[in-house]
Structure 1
């Protein structure tokens, strides 16, 4: 009877991957409780979904931080993170089980690393009503605005390994459509100097990337309406 009640109530499952919390990689599972305080569930409230119809869930597949594995107070699974096929099987089992347990529910993915988040969306987008805030929210909205203003040919991406160029061999499938022909650049300041952008947008959560050198490089180009 209790399960029947749950099936009737739950309309949105917010699933935390614990790979990143607030963009911080390798965060321990305990931090999920902090993340819930600033959860995207509050956005669903704005869309008219009552809080009693939402259920936060955590998929704990381990941690690669050995200091956590040795911590007697650590709350998570005491093993190294499951990867590759075993990880995909875990996700797929959850995607199959969730709508069986909670019919017509939606699944919102939160704090999954990009290398996992995009393939997950690709596999389950035609199976369930699903959404990833980190992929389809912050970065996507900013990029869409830039595309509408200038088009893909004039938009460039820069990640932890440098400028996204066609010659790079470390790009994930979802990065390749954004790669341009250009000599490799690993310094963000050098990229600003070479490409002379009119606008730079930070969506990676990497700290102190827009430092004094970057701001000065933007200023030297003397565009009167540069945007950060």
Structure 2
């Protein structure tokens, strides 16, 4: 059912939201009416009624761009996945759309469009509105986890940084993508007997997804004993201009990764082949949406320096992939370790894993909800990465994928959540044990031993178990009539 409740179906539903509208779904907060925020939130219950919130302003939806209030559907879809994959009760979630205008002229000029018909608000007014939203959520639902979804490049990272200690917050586009890529990378390194801290990474595509991947690799390296400065030096990023150097203009997310111009003197920094020849990367990540960018020459150059190249072409949809697995395997004599951004068929019996965020955000979200953490720390995300990598089926059979199969997702989420909870408890970031059970049942006690904690997590997960339907044979009633 995943392709029906999520991509690709959901993209069409979002783009046509106003044309197919039937009834209100979720909470709409209007930048023109900031004083109504709490009143609108109050329709969804009291302080202990909501566990998980997905919020979007609709600016960067699923690769189809600015969709305005249609973004409510991506929030609904993600919450569907939180229930399906993470066991969060479907009655204890809240989708929120922030109506802050739209830069999609087709929407603004559409008579049926249901959102504000003006250009997307930026600057002080936008951030004042966001501040009111966040603090209203905090006051109304203090135990909720807040999940940011499909915000724009200029807002998503700032929002996560600014508010992650106000409410336990998570940005799936930045942290979820980075975490699942890091788990695939960890599994590939373990399978090929290489060390994380010896790795060199080249990321082709320096937008929010590429920088999110880079940030998670840095966080993971730091949590495994590397300094931040050393970690930054192990990662090189390229955008449409080429390798990003100190002399070039870079945004805040890119700045830590810029390379010294002197190190690239005499090299064509706009050429991916030359960049691969210079860096000799252990891992090549594609987040460029530039179809076919990982050419035969690029992959073979990487293979010269790396007997088991780790190649992650992640751009969506399939037609925008940097390379197809069948070609990468052919160019590396079936020695490449691959994970992709879309599903692909096996190649010569080698299963190709999809770097699907479903492997990370439901488990991290469930762990955050159950631990009642104050914030979702980088080390909690790293704990999730390590646990997911431990579950790689590649260790059992070289032809298996780097990640578990999606059919096992609820079990995977339970394990990921367990790792997150234990890490939160370890760093005194959890409040669950200060909560009293209802009806005088004492205080919550979370087992510290992994398997016992896993059982505790599984008991908390909502499952769609309904009363059975029993077919009853109909026996006509015989009536006796008397005159």
Using the size of structure 2 for normalisation, the TM-score is 0.41
Deviation at 1:137, TM superposition (A): 1.2
Aligned to 2:66: 26
Give the number of aligned pairs.
222
When the two chains are superposed, the root-mean-square deviation of aligned CA atoms in Å is 2.9
Partner of 1:219: 300
Q: Which residue of 2 aligns with 1:167?
A: 247
Query: Matches of 1:134 and 1:48 in 2, distance apart?
Result: 21
* Contact 1:108/1:130, CA 8 A, preserved across alignment: yes
CA distance in 2, matches of 1:5, 1:25: 29
Match in the other structure for 1:202: 286
Q: Give 5+ residue unaligned stretches, structure 1.
A: none
Q: 1:143, CA displacement in angstroms?
A: 5.0
- Describe the shift of the 1:141–1:149 C-alpha distance in structure 2 as closer, same or farther (beyond 3 A): farther
Match of 2:172 in 1: 133
1:86-105 counterparts in 2 under 5 A? 86-105=125-144
Post-superposition offset of 1:71: 1.1
Aligned to 1:12: 52
Stretch moving more, 150-159 or 2-11: 2-11
Distance in 2 separating the partners of 1:69 and 1:83: 17
> Is residue 114–residue 135 contact of structure 1 (8 Å, CA) maintained in 2?
no
Query: Within 5 A, what are the aligned runs for 1:75-90?
Result: 75-90=114-129
Is the Cα contact below 8 Å between 1:29 and 1:60 reproduced in 2?
A: yes
1:65 Cα deviation (Å)?
A: 2.1
Alpha-carbon distance change, 61 to 186 in structure 1, aligned in 2, over 3 angstroms: farther
Matched residues in 1 for 2:162 and 2:83: separation? 23
Is the contact made by 1:23 and 1:111 (CA closer than 8 Å) also made in structure 2? no
Mapping of 1:134-149 within 5 angstroms?
134-142=173-181, 145=185, 148=197
| Alpha-carbon shift at residue 23 of structure 1 (Å) | 3.3
Deviates more, 1:175-184 or 1:59-68: 175-184
Deviations 1:97-143 (A, max 9, x none): 11222232121000012321111111111211111111111124435
Contact 1:19 1:25 in 2 (8 A): yes
Deviations 1:137-174 (A, max 9, x none): 112443584765526222212234432322222x2223
Contact 1:16–1:111, Cα closer than 8 Å, also in 2: yes
2:102 maps to which residue? 63
Of 266, 275, 284, the match for 1:191: 275
1:5, CA displacement in angstroms?
Answer: 6.8
Find the partner of 1:118 among 136, 157, 178.
Answer: 157
Q: Distance in 1 between matches of 2:132 and 2:78?
A: 24
Once residues 146 and 82 of structure 2 are traced to their aligned partners in structure 1, the CA distance between those partners, rounded to angstroms, is 14
Task: Extract structure 1 runs of 4+ deviating beyond 6 A.
Answer: none
Question: What is the CA distance between 1:30 and its match in structure 2?
Answer: 2.6
Distance 1:157 1:126 in 2: 29
CA, structure 1 residues 149+77, in 2 after alignment: closer, same or farther (shift >3 Å)? farther
